[in-house]
Structure 1
Amino acid sequence: MATRRKNTNRRKPSPGGRKPLITLLVVILLIAGIFFLLERVKSRTPLQIPAVPPAAMERQKIPSRSAETPVILREYTSVVIPPAPKKKPLPRVAGPGTVAIVIDDMGSSMEEARQLLAINLPLTFSIIPGLAKSRSVAEEVHAKGRQVMLHIPMEPKGFPQRKLEKNGLLLSESSADIERQMAEYLQTVPHAVGANNHMGSSFTENGEKMEVVLKVLQGKGLYFIDSKTSSASVGYSLAKKMGMRAASRQVFLDNTLDVAAITSQLDQVAALARKRGSAIAICHPHRQTIQALAAAMPRMQREGIRFVAASELVN
């Protein structure tokens, strides 16, 4: 029997033919791994981020800065404290009391005078002599039945660095010069029935000079109200010693030019008037003051306050 010869031409499997199979297996494993990871992520509980109230977000706003300055954002970890509740305003006290309000520094504007006259309640107009509208304001105020006072410009502390009207009374002047100036004042402010000092923190402390002024007022039958621009003023005490009708200011209304602040001062005057029977307040023809007076005076009248001319509260 003849021996079969082996086919020496048959090819052996090539090692390179296994590579596509291995690559395919790797891809399949990768895809399976990705799906596995996705399932694990879905199965986890999502992170709960607490909602921040709008008010807290407002508190956490970063202040604006210039374009050159880098903004560093920081997380706020402190507890947000809610604002304290607003206190309820105390009820207004009603009751009787008499108040005189003196408007100082009048004489530069007719419009200011007319706005104050339109409030239609007793106000006393104290006019600086020698201003552009001094005579006109005095005439119109008098015609409307309101009281006119002479607002006497007097030397303040810090003069001359602290300004004073050119016709103001100075401590360096003689008694004759002061008397002459007082006569001129009364010519430019007709219908004046009383007077008070404009500035004068130095002048009103000097008894000798004040006596000259008060004698002129006394000779004309005018009363004097001490504006108390100095706690050491002798104006009121000297006037009383001379037998004049006199009084002192209790409250300044508009040292702070804010309607709410001026209204608060008016309420203080009302409380003082209820406690002691009467009170004198001084203010100026600022826009904020006129607005506060126009709103508060009718309300105060409804609450029992009686408004009068300044002459009713001097004795």
Structure 2
Amino acid sequence: MTETADDLSAPLGRDKPRRKRRLRLPFTAMQLLAVLLGLFLVTFAGFAIFNKDPLGGEPMTRLAIREPNAADKAGDDKPAAAGHGQDSKQESKQETKDAPKQAGEQKTVTMIDGSTGMRHDVVIGGDAAGKSETAAASAPPPVMAGIDPKLLEKSRYGMIPAVSGDLKPFNVYAADADRAKAAKMPVVAILIGGLGVGAAKTTDAIMRLPAAVTLAFTPYGSDPGKLAERARAQRHEIFLQIPMEPYDFPDNDPGPQTLLTSLSADQNMDRLYWHLSRMQGYAGLTNFMGARFIATEPAMQPIIREAAKRGLGFFDDGSSPRSIAPQAAGSQAMPFGKGDIAIDAVPTPAEIDRALTKLEAAARERGVAVGTASALPVSIERIGAWTKTLGDRGILLVPLTTAMLKSKSS
């Protein structure tokens, strides 16, 4: 009733006031934000999938190569090196160095493989157009001073030992020794291994030990050839240590390019050539670890044959009682030696002195004995002191090659 009375009493021409309606959106602000975020993620994913630049986000340098002028074309008909690497499956980044300041100067571009990190220098311009060389980090070491070039052979990794007529590396690079005197009295030889990695300890061994002590270098280190050259300058003879598989490999890993029983003979030979190319001037090879490899005849025989073919000797450090190296070397009639005592198996002064005493006794008993040690400061100090009075006790210190030859003749 009230509502009807109000309608009848209301003035004519005037409507009843109505409530204003608010505009409502079919979604909330949070829903809108979620949609926008989703669109952004879809756009980003599409860009990442369909963008064809595999090095996107990595720094790149674009290099403009000057077109040769008429004078250049007249004097040089060689193809330009701008297309170097077009057949490569890997994309490369480029960085420049030594940019030319004048027309006709050479420009060196370092090509860096984006996936492997390998570096190659490409010389552009001048007479060297189109030629490339491996960067210093991966280049084979230069031939050392005092090396007979006739005793070298080129391999894919660099120069490796070879025989030339009657000349063999074992004889040419053996250290000088009084072999007539060595034939008449007990002799000892000492091989210090693990050199070439760590310039300080290697230099310490080179300078503090007598020249008659033989030094064995691993193929690793930034420049083992330079340290080996210094050792030869101090009249030490040198051997090259070849990393071989131990029984607990890979928990105990000798290093890159280790010879493995699981590889084929060709694969191990390729790795051997890499090791042989790391330096020159060594008289023979010796195992670096390798208790399993040196005891496995199918794996070890090809290595011994190759060493004999290249005029090298082989020294077994004596760490593997199951080694087949003596029989393999005997079948090749090559110089061979085996370690008798590990001098610093327990690296304390007292134990090292005790081992050296045993080495003397073995030399008196058999006429020749060989000890092995590492380049620990305590080992170098005790061995150096021991050798100073060795001659007074009627025993001659000789290079390893002399001991090997005496063992073969006795």
Aligned to 2:236: 146
Alignment partner of 1:266 out of 353, 356, 359:
356
- Compute the TM-score of the two structures, normalised by the length of structure 1: 0.67
Are the aligned partners of 1:239 and 1:245 in contact in 2 as well (CA < 8 Å)? yes
Alignment partner of 1:211 out of 301, 307, 317:
301
Find the residue that maps to 1:192 and give its secondary structure.
coil
Note if 1:223 corresponds to 2:313.
yes
- Compute the TM-score of the two structures, normalised by the length of structure 2: 0.52
Q: Residues of 2 paired with 1:262 and 1:301: CA distance?
A: 19
Aligned to 1:298: 388
* Partner deviation per Cα, 1:180-200 (whole Å, 9 max, x = no partner): 121121111211111111111
**Cα gap change, 1:191/1:276 in structure 2, threshold over 3 Å: closer, same or farther?**
same
* Partner deviation per Cα, 1:73-111 (whole Å, 9 max, x = no partner): xxxxxxxxxxxxxxxxxxxxxx95201100111111233
2:199 partner amino acid? M
Q: CA deviation at 1:238?
A: 1.2
- Structure scoring higher RCO (CA < 8 A, sep ≥ 6) equals 1
Note if 1:199 corresponds to 2:289.
yes
Q: Residues of 2 paired with 1:119 and 1:255: CA distance?
A: 19
Equivalent positions of 1:56-205 (< 5 A) are 96-117=185-206, 118-205=208-295
Q: Residues of 2 paired with 1:305 and 1:121: CA distance?
A: 16
Q: Return structure 1 stretches of 4+ with deviation > 6 angstroms.
A: none
Gaps of 5+ in 2: 1-183
Are the aligned partners of 1:127 and 1:189 in contact in 2 as well (CA < 8 Å)? no
Instruction: From the CA coordinates, give the structure whose radius of gyration is larger.
Output: 1
Are the aligned partners of 2:198 and 2:221 in contact in 1 as well (CA < 8 Å)? no
Q: Residues of 1 paired with 2:205 and 2:186: CA distance?
A: 22
Q: CA deviation at 1:112?
A: 2.2
Aligned to 1:41: none
1:135 partner amino acid? G
Find the residue that maps to 1:105 and give its secondary structure.
strand
2:371 partner amino acid? A
Q: CA deviation at 1:163?
A: 2.3
Between 253-262 and 172-181, report the one with greater CA deviation.
Answer: 172-181
Are the aligned partners of 2:242 and 2:287 in contact in 1 as well (CA < 8 Å)? yes
Equivalent positions of 1:5-44 (< 5 A) are none
Aligned to 1:278: 368
Q: Residues of 2 paired with 1:115 and 1:105: CA distance?
A: 13
Gaps of 5+ in 1: 1-94
2:368 partner amino acid? S
Q: CA deviation at 1:121?
A: 3.9
Q: Residues of 2 paired with 1:264 and 1:148: CA distance?
A: 26
Aligned to 1:65: none
Q: Residues of 2 paired with 1:109 and 1:162: CA distance?
A: 20
Aligned to 1:53: none
Are the aligned partners of 1:110 and 1:133 in contact in 2 as well (CA < 8 Å)? no
1:313 partner amino acid? A
Are the aligned partners of 2:210 and 2:384 in contact in 1 as well (CA < 8 Å)? no
Are the aligned partners of 1:224 and 1:236 in contact in 2 as well (CA < 8 Å)? no
RMSD (Å), alpha carbons: 1.6
* Residue correspondences, number: 221
Q: Residues of 1 paired with 2:389 and 2:203: CA distance?
A: 21
Q: Residues of 2 paired with 1:131 and 1:239: CA distance?
A: 29
Are the aligned partners of 1:225 and 1:236 in contact in 2 as well (CA < 8 Å)? no
